[in-house]
Amino acid sequence: MDLETTIAATRTYRRFNEKQNLTKEALHQLIDLARLAGSSRNCQAWQYMIITENDLCEDIFPYLGWAGYLQDWKGPASGERPAAYVLCLLNHDWLNVPEKLAYFDLGISSQNLLLGAIEKNIGGCRIGAFSPKLADLFNIPPHLTLELVIALGVPAEKVVIEKVDNNNTHYWRDENDIHRVPKRTLEDIIISLDRK
């Protein structure tokens, strides 16, 4: 895939072929792409935990929020759940920049991970909406905080980009269960401002 095609295909996938396992090697390669991302003052304050064990994946699932705009959907059904999760933890001992800058870094690193994933036919969903009780499943030392969960698996749904209509950016599923995601046009986002 060329870069533009890879970026366009890197959508948020929420339904997966749960039975199709992801290899540790592939997941390590994705974490390596996250590791190579730019970082404020080269701080590199993020650490990642890979989870592939079925029982632990099942334990994590109930703590996750899946799609804010799909109010009647409680997340993927059994058989459509992620094959793996990556927990993103902020290491406060490594933090040498204001904390808000570390979150920019997480955006960059997680996008690297997801771009690499789609090239391996792996889809993903960044989940920031999770219960704080999720952290209670693990012995997390005090210098680490769980800030983001990335669900991963082979996609079992089609996601299509649509044009934003009437400034409505809410995604939806159509009558054929195709996930539709509105994006603003290039003309909408490029602006010109007069100089003072």
3-state secondary structure 52-91: CCHHHHHHHHHHECCCCCCCCCCCCCCCCCCCEEEEEEEE
Contact 51, 86 (CB under 8 A): yes
pLDDT computed for residue 72 by the predictor? 86
pLDDT computed for residue 55 by the predictor? 96
Domains, the chain, in order of start with CATH, read 3-157 (3.40.109.10), 158-196 (2.20.180.10)
Residue 117 CA to residue 6 CA, distance in Å, equals 10
Cα dist from 153 to 75, 92, 171, 186, 188, whole Å: 14, 30, 21, 30, 33
Residue 36 CA to residue 52 CA, distance in Å, equals 23
pLDDT computed for residue 1 by the predictor? 82
> Which position has the token pair 């793996």?
84
DSSP-assigned letter for residue 92: T
> Which position has the token pair 């100089």?
195
Q: pLDDT tens track of the chain, all 196 residues?
A: 899 999 999 999 999 999 999 999 999 999 999 999 999 999 999 999 999 999 999 999 999 999 989 988 889 999 999 999 999 999 999 999 999 999 999 999 999 999 999 999 999 999 999 999 999 999 999 999 999 999 999 999 999 999 999 999 999 999 999 999 999 999 999 999 999 9
pLDDT computed for residue 144 by the predictor? 98
| First-last CA distance in the chain | 44
Cα dist from 36 to 107, 139, 144, 195, whole Å: 13, 27, 20, 37
Which two tokens mark 139?
A: 């012995």
Q: Which of 87, 86, 148, 83 is nearest to 121 (CA)?
A: 83
Contact 89, 144 (CB under 8 A): yes
pLDDT computed for residue 11 by the predictor? 96
Contact 89, 49 (CB under 8 A): yes
